[in-house]
């Protein structure tokens, strides 16, 4: 006897991806704050940066959508999930040892793919166009990290030359939207988009794929005067 195949409701799937992204975002944010050699953050600092990493992109997305209060404030489970990720990150930060950097990179890449898909899903569920959904997907993925960098006294990493980050998020968002436009099941689109963003980020780190600076390095003194 063949059992009927039940599909996961879209709202449930979105919540699963969003909560998972929030957790790994907070976990990675806490690890990054603890291992920061420039500043010695205390409990408040690590927790704050972890919450910003986890919720900053989603809050920015929801403020742009203007569809009620941000989910992070309307649903207490987001704050609980973020706090749980922050606490676990702080507890494990000292035990990971030499593998801390590798763990942070892996977790950050996973959060990047998950947030890109979650942002696109949220936008589509609210009737946004494909282009708007794409932009909000990227914003959700990189927004938390940007705010964290600013609060840490740094220029956001996505604005500087370096490994693919925002481009990886854009690739994940684009692949999700492409699969969705092809009428593939939302579950399939979610998996493909998340893995594409995650995979490109890891490949960029593994093979040192980097963006180039727009400004040339061989400027003459006359060219540098303004």
Cα–Cα dist 8/178, whole Å: 20
Exposure of 206 by Cβ count < 10 A (0-12 exposed, 13-18 middle, 19+ buried)? Answer: exposed
Q: What is the pLDDT of residue 185?
A: 94
* Whole-number CA gyration radius for the chain: 19
Overall average pLDDT of the 1-16 stretch: 59
Segment 46-72 mean pLDDT: 95
Confidence of residue 225 (pLDDT cuts 50, 70, 90): very low
Q: What is the rounded average pLDDT of the residues 83-97?
A: 85
Alpha helices in the chain (DSSP H): 10-34, 43-65, 71-74, 76-96, 100-125, 130-151, 166-181, 186-207, 221-224
The chain-wide mean pLDDT, for the chain, equals: 87
Residues 106-132: tens digit of each pLDDT: 888 988 999 999 999 999 999 999 999
Residue 13 DSSP class: H
Mean pLDDT (whole number) for 43-72: 95
Neighbours of 125 (CB within 10 A): 14
Q: How confident is the model at residue 213 (pLDDT cuts 50, 70, 90)?
A: confident
What average pLDDT score do residues 64-90 get? 94
Token output for 182: 């092809």
Higher pLDDT, 58 or 214: 58
pTM of the model: 0.85
- 3-class DSSP assignment, residue 210: strand
Q: Structural domain boundaries of the chain?
A: 10-211
Is 84's pLDDT higher than 90? yes
- pLDDT tens, position by position, 143-197: 999 999 999 888 888 888 888 999 999 999 999 999 999 999 999 999 999 999 9
**Rounded distance, CA 29 to CA 54, Å?**
7
């Amino acid at each position: 006897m063949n059992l009927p195949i039940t599909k996961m409701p879209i709202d449930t799937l979105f919540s699963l991806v969003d909560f998972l992204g929030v957790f790994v975002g907070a976990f990675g944010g806490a690890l990054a704050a603890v291992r920061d050699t420039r500043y010695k953050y205390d409990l408040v600092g690590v927790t704050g940066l972890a919450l910003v990493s986890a919720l900053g992109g989603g809050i920015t997305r929801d403020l742009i959508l203007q569809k009620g209060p941000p989910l992070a404030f309307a649903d207490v489970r987001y704050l609980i999930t973020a706090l749980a990720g922050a606490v676990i990150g702080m507890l494990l930060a000292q035990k990971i040892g030499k593998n801390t950097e590798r763990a942070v990179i892996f977790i950050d890449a996973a959060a990047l793919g998950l947030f890109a898909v979650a942002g696109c899903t949220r936008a589509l569920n609210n009737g946004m166009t494909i282009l708007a959904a794409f932009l909000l997907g990227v914003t959700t993925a990189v927004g938390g990290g940007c705010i964290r960098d600013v609060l840490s006294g740094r220029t956001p990493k996505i604005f500087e030359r370096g490994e693919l980050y925002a481009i990886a998020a854009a690739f994940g968002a684009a692949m999700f939207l492409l699969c969705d436009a092809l009428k593939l099941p939302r579950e399939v689109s979610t998996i493909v988009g998340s893995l594409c963003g995650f995979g490109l980020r890891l490949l960029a780190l593994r093979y040192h794929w980097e963006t180039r600076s727009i400004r040339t390095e061989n400027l003459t003194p006359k060219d540098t005067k303004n």
